[in-house]
Structure 1
Amino acid sequence: MDGMVRSRSDDIRRRIAKRRKEKERMENNSRPERLFTLPSEDEKHGFSPIISYEGGGPEEEIHPLFRKEVFLFKILASACLFLVVAILFRNHTATFDSARNVVKQTMETEFQFAAVSNWYEDKFGKPLALLPFTPNKQTANVSSNPQYAVPASGRILENFQKNGQGIMIETSKGTKVEAMNGGVVQFAGVKAGLGKTVIIQHSDQTESWYGNLESINVSLYKYIDKGKEVGTVSPSTDKAKAKGEFYFAIKKGNHFIDPIQVIQFE
């Protein structure tokens, strides 16, 4: 009797043990497998592993120094700067005089408008300008037509040797003063000692100055052809004021040259 009881107890224990093993096996099968890797040398010294992300193909590759956000910001900043400069020269308020002078000085000394305009005209057939204007007809190349136009015929009242810069010319009253060559107007306004003045920058790196004008008929940074009217002469200083006078000078680099060596006046 005791043997039968003991045998039955052992059978129950075996069944319980079998059920426990089956349960453990089922639990182990339902758990995800874990991958254990040995730490690298960098991880042993406290450095995090470097993770590399690669694109799907060559078309998705982007240069590591290129950042789209920075590129778009530069384009936006350039557009804003261009708009601000345009507003400065469209608005003639005295408040912006200092800012306009800085822009003028920078553009006059560091950028050759006439040279670039001449190159652009040779390549594409139209003048180049920063601000919108009505295009003029094309002018001949300097090399193919080296002769200069006479600004205005007249008698020389004050020669180059007197001031080392320019000459004073007496003409008829109300005479029109014309550009000696095609170029870009880099100054149009009042200049100390010269009154109303126009300065034209030419593609050969020279400048022609037209001072003591009664009126100015050109716009700043506009390309004008040779022989184009820049203004009219001021009345002479005599009491009758029957004649007109204007100042004319030619500048090459940082030095003025005698206009008589370039153009023959009456």
Structure 2
Amino acid sequence: MRSRADEVRKRIENRKREKERMSKNLNNRFLWPEEEEKYGFDKVTTFEGGHEEKSHPLFKKEIFVFKILFSAALVLVLAILFRNDSPTLDPTRSFITKTMENEFQFAFVSNWYEKQFGKPLAILPFNHSDKEKDKSDGNEGEYAMPASGKILEQFSSNGQRVAIETSKEATVDAMEEGLVSFVGTKDGFGRTVIIQHPDKSESWYGNLAQVEVDPYDFIEKGDIVGKASDSKDGEKGEFYFAIKKGDDFIDPIQVIKFE
């Protein structure tokens, strides 16, 4: 009798386990809708970190470590390259030095991007509607006068710039739209602002008493760059102006008409 009762209990336990297994399979097969799906929205997949998860699915530790090691190796190779005085490495050193000294042409890249895709780069904040308005006025291709005045020192005197006499505390304007690539002091120019333009040229505004822009500002043609310094007698204003294309300065009179 006891063996018969034990057998019946075993059958009942087996049936319970079988029902539990089947119910789990059904729950896994038929997924109930989430709250978002009940109201017609797509299900939002989220990542909730816990003790069992070792890393975020969008972060790969191996790639991060590889980038660090690669950067360290690159720095080490450059250090060895420039500390080694071997003449055979001179061309490589010269190429690296020239590459590092060249400024990235943000203005040129922005202009190319806009022509290709119709919108300016988001990292360059300027009013696109105002820019289109300026172009529609028919002034595209013409440079703006940095300031009204007369030339005191010709380009031939130094081969880099001209000196322009203006009224006292006159504002100095950008001759063309572009990106401010430098704000500081330059030899022979004093306090200077350099603007990169989409055609890869640069305009330099020196001997400024006051600067109204910051590095990496994207400004439009005619925007105020700064204010001219006082002349020696204190009755007039004076600033320096230069245009650079590639590695050479050109005479600004070739592209802008002064008084």
Report if TM-score (shorter chain) is over 0.5: yes
Opposite residue 190 of structure 2, the aligned amino acid is G
Deviation at 1:70, TM superposition (A): 3.5
Given that 1:149 and 1:180 are in contact with CA atoms closer than 8 Å, whether structure 2 keeps it comes out as yes
Opposite residue 237 of structure 2, the aligned amino acid is G
Deviation at 1:112, TM superposition (A): 1.0
Opposite residue 249 of structure 2, the aligned amino acid is F
Deviation at 1:245, TM superposition (A): 0.2
- Identity across the alignment (%): 54
Paired with 2:139 and 2:235, the residues of 1 have a C-alpha distance of 39
Q: Does 1:139 align with 2:131?
A: yes
The 1:107–1:150 alpha-carbon spacing in structure 2 relative to 1, beyond 3 Å, is farther
Secondary structure at the counterpart of residue 71 of structure 1: helix
The 1:127–1:217 alpha-carbon spacing in structure 2 relative to 1, beyond 3 Å, is farther
Secondary structure at the counterpart of residue 192 of structure 2: strand
The 1:191–1:74 alpha-carbon spacing in structure 2 relative to 1, beyond 3 Å, is farther
- RMSD, aligned CA: 2.8
Secondary structure at the counterpart of residue 165 of structure 1: coil
- Scaled by the length of structure 2, the TM-score of the pair is 0.58
Given that 1:121 and 1:128 are in contact with CA atoms closer than 8 Å, whether structure 2 keeps it comes out as no
Paired with 1:169 and 1:204, the residues of 2 have a C-alpha distance of 25
Gaps of 5+ in 2: 1-59, 70-97
Alpha-carbon displacement from aligned partner over 1:53-98 (angstroms, at most 9, x marks no partner): xxxxxxxxxxxxxxx5443446899xxxxxxxxxxxxxxxxxxxxx
The 1:230–1:110 alpha-carbon spacing in structure 2 relative to 1, beyond 3 Å, is closer
Query: Superposition pairs for residues 29-108 of structure 1, below 5 Å?
Result: 68-73=60-65
User: How many residues are aligned here?
Assistant: 167
Q: 2:175 is matched with which residue: 177, 180, 185? A: 180
The 1:203–1:228 alpha-carbon spacing in structure 2 relative to 1, beyond 3 Å, is same
Opposite residue 168 of structure 1, the aligned amino acid is A
Q: Does 1:160 align with 2:160?
A: no
Query: Superposition pairs for residues 192-207 of structure 1, below 5 Å?
Result: 192-207=187-202
2:216 aligns with: 221
Paired with 2:252 and 2:67, the residues of 1 have a C-alpha distance of 45
Opposite residue 135 of structure 1, the aligned amino acid is F
Given that 2:192 and 2:207 are in contact with CA atoms closer than 8 Å, whether structure 1 keeps it comes out as yes
Deviation at 1:135, TM superposition (A): 3.2
Paired with 1:212 and 1:202, the residues of 2 have a C-alpha distance of 21
Paired with 1:255 and 1:236, the residues of 2 have a C-alpha distance of 28
Deviation at 1:148, TM superposition (A): 0.4
Alpha-carbon displacement from aligned partner over 1:4-23 (angstroms, at most 9, x marks no partner): xxxxxxxxxxxxxxxxxxxx
Given that 1:181 and 1:202 are in contact with CA atoms closer than 8 Å, whether structure 2 keeps it comes out as yes
2:119 aligns with: 125
Paired with 1:126 and 1:114, the residues of 2 have a C-alpha distance of 10
Deviates more, 1:220-229 or 1:190-199: 190-199
Paired with 1:232 and 1:181, the residues of 2 have a C-alpha distance of 17
1:247 aligns with: 240
Paired with 1:74 and 1:120, the residues of 2 have a C-alpha distance of 31
